[in-house]
Amino acid sequence: MKPKQFDIEAYTIAETARRLGYKSTKTIYRLLNKEVLEDYVYLEHSGRVYLILEPPNLPTLAEKISANIQYRRKNIIKKGAKK
């Protein structure tokens, strides 16, 4: 049986924050410290952390973040917003 090969796009925490529309990385780091985003982390051998925006068989990273933050008027990811 031939092994399957997956092509995934993983970004640094700063690039992920930019792609999701955040001004800083504070929200993402807070969720990483609470181990909420463990399924979305790709750890390189050098120790650098990357986040996968659309992992297979899981909700997108934006959906996961919006489910784990409080709704506020100024949040980038709006409650119930679909893209």
Q: Residue 77 contacts by C-beta under 8 Å, 6 or more apart in sequence?
A: 20, 21, 62, 65, 66, 69
Please give the structure tokens belonging to residue 37. 């985003």
Please give the structure tokens belonging to residue 20. 């999701």
Lowest pLDDT segment from 26-35, 41-50, 56-65, 73-82: 73-82
Domain count, the chain: 1
1 has a pLDDT exceeding 90: no
The domain containing residue 1 runs over which residues? Answer: 1-83
Residue 78 phi/psi, 5-degree rounding, is: -80, 150
Write the pLDDT tens digit of every residue in 6-40.
Answer: 778 899 999 999 999 888 999 999 999 999 999 99
Looking up tokens 């100024």 gives 74
Q: What is the pLDDT of residue 83?
A: 46
Rounded Cα–Cα distance for residues 42 and 61 (Å): 13
